[in-house]
Amino acid sequence: MMEYYHAPIMLDEVLNLLKPERGGIFLDCTLGGGGHAEAVLNKLPQGSRLYGIDRDGDAIKASSERLACYKERFVPIRGNFFDMKELLRARGIARVDGVLMDLGVSSFQLDNAERGFSYNKSATLNMRMDDSSALSAYDVVNSYEREALYRIIRDYGEERYASRIANAIVREREKAPIETTLQLAGIIERAMPAAARREPQHPAKRTYQAIRIEVNGELDGLEQALRDAESMLNSGGVLAVIGFHSLEDRIIKHAMKSFEHPCTCDPRAPVCVCGKLPTSKVLTRKPITASQSELERNPRARSAKLRAAEKL
Q: What CATH number corresponds to the domain at position 134?
A: 1.10.150.170
pLDDT tens per residue across span 186-216: 999 999 999 888 888 889 999 999 999 999 8
CA distance 74 to 91: 13
Looking at residue 110, its pLDDT comes to 62
Looking at residue 1, its pLDDT comes to 41
Q: Are 244 and 303 in contact (CB under 8 A)?
A: yes
CA distance 174 to 176: 6
Co-location of 62 and 30 in the same domain? yes
Looking at residue 211, its pLDDT comes to 95
Domain that residue 43 falls in: 11-103+219-311
Q: Which of 19, 37, 101, 100 is nearest to 73 (CA)?
A: 37
Q: Which of 70, 17, 31 is nearest to 48 (CA)?
A: 70
Q: Are 310 and 283 in contact (CB under 8 A)?
A: yes
Looking at residue 133, its pLDDT comes to 84
194 to each of 150, 200, 304, how far by Cα in Å?
A: 20, 13, 29
> Within the chain, which residues score under 50 in pLDDT?
1-2
Looking at residue 112, its pLDDT comes to 64
- Among the candidates 176, 195, 216, a domain finishes at 216
Q: Which residues pair with 243 in a beta bridge?
A: 305
Q: Are 163 and 150 in contact (CB under 8 A)?
A: yes
CA distance 212 to 287: 24
Q: Are 184 and 178 in contact (CB under 8 A)?
A: yes
- Among the candidates 216, 247, 276, a domain finishes at 216
Looking at residue 142, its pLDDT comes to 97
**What's the distance, Cα to Cα, between the start and end of the chain in Å?**
44
Residue 58, C-beta contacts closer than 8 angstroms, at least 6 positions apart = 1, 4, 108
CA distance 301 to 10: 8
Cβ burial, residue 63 (10 Å; 0-12/13-18/19+)? buried
Looking at residue 2, its pLDDT comes to 43
Q: Which residues pair with 238 in a beta bridge?
A: 98, 310
Q: Are 200 and 299 in contact (CB under 8 A)?
A: no
Phi then psi for 108, rounded to 5 degrees?
-60, -45
* SS3 call for 76: strand
In the chain, the number of structural domains is 2
- Among the candidates 192, 216, 240, a domain finishes at 216
Residue 159 located in a structural domain:
yes
Co-location of 231 and 86 in the same domain? yes
Co-location of 239 and 207 in the same domain? no
Co-location of 73 and 200 in the same domain? no
Co-location of 15 and 94 in the same domain? yes
Q: Which of 67, 64, 68, 20 is nearest to 46 (CA)?
A: 20
Co-location of 43 and 15 in the same domain? yes
